[in-house]
Amino acid sequence: MEEITVFTSLFASIGYLEIFIPIFFFLVFWLWALGHSNKNDLPRNYPFIGMFPALILNLHRIHELIVEVLSKTGGTFLLKGPWFTNMDILGTVDPANVHYITSANFPNFTKGPEFKKIFHIFGDGIFNSDFDSWKDQRKLAKEMIAHQRFHKCLIQTSWDKVEKGLIPVLEFMAEEGRVVDLQDVFKRFTFDTTFKLVMGFDPGCLSPDLPDTPFSKAMDDVNYVWFIRHILPESIWKLQKWLGIGPEMKLVKAEELINQIIFKYISMKRDELSRGKKMKEDEDGFNLLTSYMVPNDGETKRELKFDDKFLRDTMFNFMVAGRDGISACLTWFIWLVFTRPEVEKNIREELMAIIPEKEGGKQRAFTVEELKNVVYLHAALCETLRLYPPVAFERKTPQEPDILPSGHRVHPKLRVIFNMYAMGRMEFIWGKDALEFKPERWITDRGTVKHEPSSKFLIFNAGPRTCIGKEVAFTQMKIVAAAIIHNYKIEMVKGHVVCPNFDIMLYMKHGFRVRIKRRWA
């Protein structure tokens, strides 16, 4: 019955055409599969359809399936796709393989043309780029984010949104005794702050009335379709796109809305600059769009074409990076902390030690400077990222045939996928207590934050593609986390089910429904 329930749900949510082939496979091979289980409980490789049935039957628990398979195979497993579809996948969480692919032999492992097809909405932005285009874009983006003006604006924007956006919403919900989806609140927070930092405008999505957010909803739709494209053969989702049905139609509508809004703000910004409004060195209103548009004779800028298409692609890449990762991590973090009283107590004590004695116990927010040296809070955020990485997996494409340190052969038609969700749960990487939430594993004997190599903690990527926004993420997460833990008690609604979704971004499938109570009178 469970298998039938799963297929009924998929049929309703994915659409008639794209589920036709899975249903056919299911009808033909279901009874056979039940009577021919693999003795190691690994996906069985059938003629013609490969291991596709295992994916479909376990789609509702895909993350757990991957953990089970990789834990039984030493961290690397070749998943055979249907014949003639080029859907074979080598999944690996082996740190030696990760280091080899991301660092030691980095030039041979790129995003590849198939990646760009699936994530075409990124355009020619940094996430889709390889080789010289990627190098030029990364160099410029790094210069922008490292600039003191950006850092100042980040701190001010984040502080203002906590003080004038997040706290008023939480106060209203506490006063009214309402149930609120805290995951939605975090998405609104990061959407507002990211839009302000990137485009220079605050869309005002985070307010007590929780207004509709079409742009943010469109980004959610995009994440969902990206995941579906990884499951289905390219011919199926391309046909669906051509016919204008199912998730592909949802993607078309989402992309139209996203493009309309971004091009609108690019036009507004060009108009501002044409009327002589220039960015000042000490201006709080610094934003990345203006920085990219203001003439600059730097060598990096001369290598790039700054037309509206390039600006649209670049700004959208920044917005996805800033909005989704932070909001997903904060959601899982608050759930983990408030379901573990000892962890909550340790963070609260660390925060109380920061507050000057004369202030006593009262409601307040914390500045970036005050949170600069917190250890336990930082450790708890790292532990959250280990167990619930915002991006569950990443893919690479070999340019030339190669042999990985694990002995597995790879070639240009083989997808290589790192699964960060599974990596954080591997005992051979993290020890027997890998499934436990233990911030202490990130603290040294000296009481400082412990560093782990990126080949085992791949959340911020590794090698030349290491995320340039790591410090931005920790800055925002600490400000929000400290404000919530110090000022409020979070109680999850009784009976609420917490489990991962199956989008590209690892959010909670059913949101995070909670009640909020004040700590201070």
Which residues neighbour 37 within 8 Å (Cβ) at sequence distance 6 or greater? 44
Q: What's the pLDDT at 274?
A: 83
Per-residue pLDDT of the chain (521 residues; tens, 9 = 90+): 434 333 333 333 444 444 455 554 454 445 444 444 455 679 999 998 899 888 888 888 999 999 999 999 999 999 999 988 888 999 999 999 999 999 999 999 999 888 999 999 999 999 999 999 999 999 999 999 998 999 999 999 999 999 999 999 999 999 999 999 999 999 999 999 999 999 999 999 999 999 999 999 999 999 989 988 888 888 889 999 999 998 999 999 999 999 999 999 999 999 888 887 654 433 456 899 999 988 665 555 556 778 999 999 999 999 999 999 999 999 999 999 999 999 999 999 999 999 987 776 788 999 999 999 999 999 999 999 999 999 999 999 999 999 999 999 999 999 999 999 999 999 999 999 999 999 999 999 999 999 999 999 999 999 999 999 999 999 999 999 999 999 999 999 999 999 999 888 999 999 999 999 999 86
For 229-267, letters b (16+ CB in 10 Å) and e give bbbbbeebbeebbeeeebbbebbeebbebbeebbeebbe
Output the six-digit token pair for 86: 């080029």
CA separation for the pair 6, 33 (Å, rounded): 16
Domain boundaries, the chain: 2-518
Contacts of 215 (CB under 8 A, 6+ apart): 191, 203, 257, 258, 261
- 76's enclosing H/E stretch is strand 76-79
Whole-angstrom Cα Rg for the chain: 23
Round to whole Å and give the CA distance between 182 and 48.
45
Angle CA 181–316–125, to nearest 5? 140
Q: pLDDT at position 356, please?
A: 87
Closest among 158, 178, 170 to 486, alpha carbons compared: 170
Report residue 145 as tokens: 């984010």
pLDDT of 295 reads 60
The predicted structure's pLDDT at residue 157: 95
**Residue 211, SS3 per DSSP:** coil
3-state secondary structure of 304: coil
> In angstroms, rounded to a whole number, what is the distance separating the alpha carbons of residues 447 and 440?
10
Cβ-based neighbour number of residue 417 at 10 Å:
17
Name which of 506, 336, 421, 396 is nearest 65 in CA terms. Answer: 421
The contacts found for 364-370 with CB under 8 angstroms, 24 or more apart, are: 364/486, 364/487, 365/159, 365/162, 365/163, 365/167, 365/479, 365/482, 365/483, 366/478, 366/479, 366/482, 366/483, 366/486, 367/155, 367/159, 368/155, 368/158, 368/159, 368/475, 368/478, 368/479
Pairing of strands 415-419, 89-92: parallel
Architecture of domain 2-518: Orthogonal Bundle (1.10)
Q: Please enumerate in sequence order all residues whose Cβ is within 8 A of that of 394, keeping only pairs 6 or more positions apart, or say none.
A: 417, 418, 420, 458, 461
Which two tokens mark 277? 């409004």
